[in-house]
Structure 1
């Protein structure tokens, strides 16, 4: 991750923390459960993938709060159930949690105690700070890698946009639409570079026959590409309204880039196949809010979810503007709630992929 942009979710347990505003992400993790269980079943059935009676599971981009242990807990339970049915002792488990150094690991470490206290399977835990766009683990050491709601974050914003002073977002709709293909292509190139590197690194760290189950924000291929189809689109729109109302400096908006990109299903599939280290076992496309109680998705809830995810990077660039950001977001979401745009199909999706080492 570019050192100039310190990307992490809001820390702590307060009202604006990620821990208190991550129910949407939790619903998305639940969609990964069947694929994680299937991957565990496959690994446990193949004696050659288990090294000396142990299994190592890593969650990359674990964040903090109640979601931090969700994926590894699914893997632990699936492993326990598999060997319980066979009436055999389960392998020892090693669970490793990774995120960027600014993540709130204090909260994560405390929650890990619960995993360590389980009797079966025996579970050893560890924290591995660092970017998943670099080597994190020894060669051939991991059996299962999980990553949820994290791989749409790029190592950096596209440098060619910065160098050529091409804004990702503009308050003038005509200018924005005219520029958008250039912006989209730059983000797509950066995502391809980053995700290809991610696959190469994990292929080295996984045991032969190792598995990965990942989810990330994406977009519908059949939809016209607009700013609302991007991960950063909604936050950028809110900031655009704030710039047009004089709350933030338009020049600062022109130089602001959120390092995140959501690919289409075809785009993601093509990158995986071209890189060649993994075969696709299954790829699912989900509506981003499926499985959630729509009544809970109030303007205030959505605004605070955005705040929990984007506050650190926004404050770093614009200063302390988040209370106004939330007020502006709530107003915009209230206006849009009953519009035709809101009744139409969301251009954004969640992509969930199960991969096996080729």
Structure 2
């Protein structure tokens, strides 16, 4: 099982880096912009916010590359536009970026320096390394929390599977189909536990009436996926070929778990209501098919996206096997003559979920 530190995107600016293979994530950040702008308008119109003269904004799971500043930049621009329209002096703005310690924070810090030198200066910036499944900030200190394409990543693989040595993706298809309900339930329970904790922690850190806008990869409500989640399922299929070739050990494969779960909008709504710290202002579901088509449109894009997302966790578990993984992945794409990858996209029915919340 991968540690928390392994769940980060691939560093750098190279061809297979997350920075060069994150158009899917960027598209979802663009869809979040209207909700973030609405949140900022509400906060800037609030007497209590204006009284204190400052707004603290945190992006949790910011990663690195061109997307790292997208959400906070949207918030900053909305603040200045609102104040300019009303001819008010802008509040002091404090921007905080968070991700796991192994994230490429050198690149993130350089981006923050650029942000501070922009035409809309930010008074203070900072980074907060750590898991967002832990406390990160002082009580009642944040006004806005954003999190994009990150909450589908769990704090760890489901304990029911790891403790009982149940593979998340059994090589034997019959066994895999038999175990699928148990595997899916284990992932659902781990997501429920993690998401509730996330909400509890953020409720402590947000001021009264503080706002949160989150997006995550989910599953359409009207369809139950017949197989494993799309990209982890593809990775497992590729790794299973490497097992058959003797490149990696089967026991090692059976103990490999991707800590990733795509919930339905009903799951998300139910957990928020059950936890009780937040009121749901708005929920949206987007179809990411167009972005997925681009990600799977050529062998290079297909392989680069897999590497950008999963190389760190694969290497930590299996060692230096990426050359063999790339070869097997290219073969997997080239053998898709019957369009099974396209069919898999339909079966898994991915959806992007966006939620705007107010601290109760």
TM-score, normalised to structure 1, is 0.94
Q: 2: distance between equivalents of 1:337 and 1:71?
A: 39
The equivalent of 1:277 in structure 2 is: 277
Q: What is the DSSP-based 3-state SS (H/G/I as helix, E as strand, rest coil) of the residue aligned with 2:18?
A: coil
Q: 2: distance between equivalents of 1:318 and 1:233?
A: 17
Q: What is the DSSP-based 3-state SS (H/G/I as helix, E as strand, rest coil) of the residue aligned with 1:232?
A: helix
Question: Is 212-221 or 10-19 further displaced after alignment?
Answer: 10-19
The equivalent of 1:63 in structure 2 is: 63
Alpha-carbon deviations, 1:203-231, whole Å to 9, x = none?
Answer: 11111111111111111222233334366
The equivalent of 2:126 in structure 1 is: 126
5+ long unaligned stretches in structure 1: none
Q: 2: distance between equivalents of 1:77 and 1:269?
A: 30
Change (3 A) 1:242 1:132: same
* Structure 2 counterparts to residues 204-215 of structure 1, below 5 A: 204-215=204-215
Q: Conserved in 2, the CA contact under 8 Å of 1:61 and 1:150?
A: yes
Aligned residue pairs, count: 358
Alpha-carbon deviations, 1:138-183, whole Å to 9, x = none?
Answer: 1111110000111111111111211111010111111101011111
The equivalent of 1:173 in structure 2 is: 173
**CA deviation after TM superposition for structure 1 residue 2, in Å:** 7.2
Q: 2: distance between equivalents of 1:255 and 1:229?
A: 17
TM-score, normalised to structure 2, is 0.93
**CA deviation after TM superposition for structure 1 residue 237, in Å:** 2.2
Q: 2: distance between equivalents of 1:244 and 1:326?
A: 16
Q: What is the DSSP-based 3-state SS (H/G/I as helix, E as strand, rest coil) of the residue aligned with 1:190?
A: helix
**CA deviation after TM superposition for structure 1 residue 251, in Å:** 1.5
The equivalent of 1:54 in structure 2 is: 54
The equivalent of 2:19 in structure 1 is: 19
Change (3 A) 1:231 1:5: farther
Q: Conserved in 2, the CA contact under 8 Å of 1:217 and 1:231?
A: no
The equivalent of 1:350 in structure 2 is: 352
Q: Conserved in 1, the CA contact under 8 Å of 2:2 and 2:316?
A: no
Q: What is the DSSP-based 3-state SS (H/G/I as helix, E as strand, rest coil) of the residue aligned with 1:227?
A: coil
The equivalent of 2:32 in structure 1 is: 32
Question: Is 230-239 or 173-182 further displaced after alignment?
Answer: 230-239
**CA deviation after TM superposition for structure 1 residue 291, in Å:** 6.1
The equivalent of 2:249 in structure 1 is: 249
Q: What is the DSSP-based 3-state SS (H/G/I as helix, E as strand, rest coil) of the residue aligned with 1:180?
A: helix
Q: Conserved in 2, the CA contact under 8 Å of 1:16 and 1:304?
A: yes
Q: 2: distance between equivalents of 1:121 and 1:106?
A: 21
The equivalent of 1:220 in structure 2 is: 220
Q: 1: distance between equivalents of 2:75 and 2:285?
A: 22
Q: Conserved in 1, the CA contact under 8 Å of 2:24 and 2:291?
A: no
Q: Conserved in 2, the CA contact under 8 Å of 1:171 and 1:244?
A: no
Change (3 A) 1:220 1:137: same
Question: Is 246-255 or 261-270 further displaced after alignment?
Answer: 246-255
**CA deviation after TM superposition for structure 1 residue 296, in Å:** 8.0
Tell me whether 1:268 sits opposite 2:268 in the alignment. yes
Question: Is 229-238 or 333-342 further displaced after alignment?
Answer: 333-342
Q: What is the DSSP-based 3-state SS (H/G/I as helix, E as strand, rest coil) of the residue aligned with 1:272?
A: helix
Q: 2: distance between equivalents of 1:229 and 1:169?
A: 10
Tell me whether 1:140 sits opposite 2:127 in the alignment. no
Change (3 A) 1:43 1:255: same
The equivalent of 1:80 in structure 2 is: 80
**CA deviation after TM superposition for structure 1 residue 234, in Å:** 2.4
The equivalent of 1:44 in structure 2 is: 44
